[in-house]
Structure 1
Amino acid sequence: MADGGWSTIESDEGVFTSLIENLGVKGVQFEELISLDADTIRSLSPVYGVIFLFKYQRDQSPETPNTPLDGTYETNPPDNLFFAAQTIQNACGTQAILSVLLNQDNTSSTPYPIDIGAELRSFKDFTTGFPAELRGEALSNSETVRTAHNAFARASPFVDETVRTARDEEGDAYHFIGYTGVNGKLYELDGLQPYPISHGECDAGSFPEKVIGVLQRRIARYPEGETRFNLMAVVRDLRERAREIGDAEMLEREERKRRAWEWENTLRRSNFVGFIGEVLKGVAGTKEKEGKFDEWIEKAKGETEKRLRRG
């Protein structure tokens, strides 16, 4: 990983939850949504927003510079709306997350304000009043946010995730954006757009239907059969709800989920190349001592050829 770079991270509820906890955020988690269903979102209430991952279509551009494909540009956004331009590669997931969190930390947006922690509070206070481009630059230069983000980079001694090649540019590109309610409006916060996009009036009660409608219209612009989308809700820690209502079964289920996330994230951070190499050396040494090394190699070649023929 190159110094100062931002690595690609996986779109995963456990990764995102651990990432924001590393930044000092308390009482928030991510829940993957399997279907575009308003009732599912409502069942997770309070929902602070959703993070949408989609295949970026370079040929889909607004009809005019002043008109997005859906909604309207908020060219004079309110002072309390946090919006940052995307100025760095590979960090759109973290930027979409922050776009929701930093707009849900006060009672004007939600009855359950998010405790964003000292680091993000300092960052938000510092960038208050900045234009979107300058906020994006401040984010790109935040060592705290970059370190938390890169902690979940894929561990590989062979690939530098911060370096993009011509082949990368020609392949499929994916992008994250956030949707959240601020000041009684539903906002689409996409750092690649010049302004926040307003989708009209929206309160906590109407948020599920409103955001699902926006997402359905967006997905409808893709060719039929396109399924490469991912949607996650940003919700209050479900363990807190379980404790409040005295649901022991729900609490145990959520605790098991957290243990699974912790284990999976440990594996993501681990590089097993050295371990695998030592195992192979040990097996090869044993076969050589037994005088069966050549036989073992030939057998492996034969099995590989069989698999290739079946494929």
Structure 2
Amino acid sequence: MQGVFTYLIDNLGVKDVQFEELISLDADTLRQQSPVYGVVFLFKYPIGEKPSETPKDGSFDFEAAENLFFAAQTIQNACGTQALLSVLLNKEDQVEIGPQLREFKEFTGAFPSDLRGEALSNSETIRDVHNSFARSSPFVDEQQRLATEEDDVYHFIAYTSINGTLYELDGLQPAPISHGSCNFDEFPDKVIPVLQRRIGRYPAHEIRFNLLAMVRDLRLRAREVGDQDWLYREEQKRTGWQWENALRRHNFVGFVGEVMKGVVGAKLSEGDGAYDEWLKAAEAKTKARIEERKKKGEGEESIEA
């Protein structure tokens, strides 16, 4: 996901910014990535949960929308893009967001949050870049698919420090959520307890969370300190991200179909019931994997909220 988000904002014209996945939820780990402009948090969204008059943590700041960028989420499957834009469009004084996003922010500056959300979903530039990173699927139209109670629904939200306050920016909520005073330098220390409290509201067996930090391009930091090994690792990481993003766009159904034809043909040619035995063994392995996943509490599929 860090590679997807990094190249997504790259394609939107953002300069010298990348995403780093955090594997440890503590302030020191986050502070090591400084400067940290904000974080994007992925979590399982409870089916049927509706926005309430009072958030479970923090407090709604309805007046803040006049002084920061906050957009309501109006379409499905775009919460990741919306979360990262919630950070970027509030960091114009620290990040070069590029002419396209700057024009979009200026155009929507006087809009209420619902119209900002509509403008975001109707932006041809943002939509085209977002769709260019969508997984290729010949079977499911992700723009039209609706979640059911059998699906695991995941949602992205953003946390960042704006005007001396730590804000949670969630397009499914009616307003930004304030978590108290927080300047830029205090962000790692202030946001981690908020995230820990949020995770603490889930059952102990729920571990499907992901945290991405929006940070300054680490290649720039490596060049500044003259660490060539670090720079090489970062360049290799970018190469890997490009490969992964290319795989996301590719439709492998035709390739898989031809492989299956070849395997089945080989088994049939062996005769003596080899095909039937092979099929029974495959069915048994599939059932065993399904049972194992059920024991671990894993869903069979997931979609974004």
TM-score by length of 1: 0.86
- Tell me, yes or no, if the aligned pair for 1:61 and 1:69 is still in contact at 8 Å: no
Task: State how far apart, in whole Å, the 2-side matches of 1:122 and 1:27 are.
Answer: 19
Return the offset for 1:99. 0.1
User: Which residue of the partner structure matches residue 30 of structure 2?
Assistant: 41
Q: Does 1:304 align with 2:275?
A: no
Task: State how far apart, in whole Å, the 1-side matches of 2:135 and 2:272 are.
Answer: 31
- Which letter does structure 2 place at the counterpart of 1:72? S
TM-score by length of 2: 0.87
- 3-state secondary structure, aligned to 1:85: coil
Which residue of 13, 17, 23 corresponds with 1:28?
17
The 3 A distance-change label for structure 1 pair 200 and 272 is same
- Which letter does structure 1 place at the counterpart of 2:73? Q
Which residue of 221, 235, 241 corresponds with 2:201?
221
Q: Residues 92-241 of structure 1 correspond to what in structure 2 (within 5 A)?
A: 92-106=79-93, 113-165=94-146, 168-241=148-221
- Which letter does structure 2 place at the counterpart of 1:95? Q
Q: Aligned residue pairs: how many?
A: 286
User: Which residue of the partner structure matches residue 70 of structure 2?
Assistant: 83
The 3 A distance-change label for structure 1 pair 298 and 161 is farther
User: Which residue of the partner structure matches residue 7 of structure 1?
Assistant: none
Return the offset for 1:272. 1.9
Task: State how far apart, in whole Å, the 2-side matches of 1:61 and 1:217 are.
Answer: 19
- Tell me, yes or no, if the aligned pair for 2:65 and 2:175 is still in contact at 8 Å: no
- 3-state secondary structure, aligned to 1:68: coil
- Tell me, yes or no, if the aligned pair for 2:72 and 2:117 is still in contact at 8 Å: yes
Task: State how far apart, in whole Å, the 1-side matches of 2:143 and 2:28 are.
Answer: 39
- Which letter does structure 1 place at the counterpart of 2:11? N
Which residue of 56, 63, 71 corresponds with 1:69?
56
* Sequence identity percentage: 64
* Long gaps (5+) in structure 2: 289-305
- Tell me, yes or no, if the aligned pair for 1:26 and 1:116 is still in contact at 8 Å: yes
Task: State how far apart, in whole Å, the 2-side matches of 1:277 and 1:195 are.
Answer: 48
* Long gaps (5+) in structure 1: 1-11, 107-112
The 3 A distance-change label for structure 1 pair 56 and 293 is closer
- 3-state secondary structure, aligned to 1:168: coil
- Tell me, yes or no, if the aligned pair for 2:16 and 2:216 is still in contact at 8 Å: yes
> What's the C-alpha RMSD, in Å, of the aligned pairs?
2.1
Q: Does 1:257 align with 2:237?
A: yes
Q: Does 1:14 align with 2:8?
A: no
The 3 A distance-change label for structure 1 pair 138 and 201 is same
Return the offset for 1:281. 5.6
- Tell me, yes or no, if the aligned pair for 2:268 and 2:274 is still in contact at 8 Å: no
- For residues 31-55 of structure 1, the C-alpha deviation after alignment (integer angstroms, 9 at most, x for no partner) is 1111211111100000000000111
Task: State how far apart, in whole Å, the 2-side matches of 1:308 and 1:46 are.
Answer: 51
- Which letter does structure 1 place at the counterpart of 2:120? L
Return the offset for 1:77. 1.0
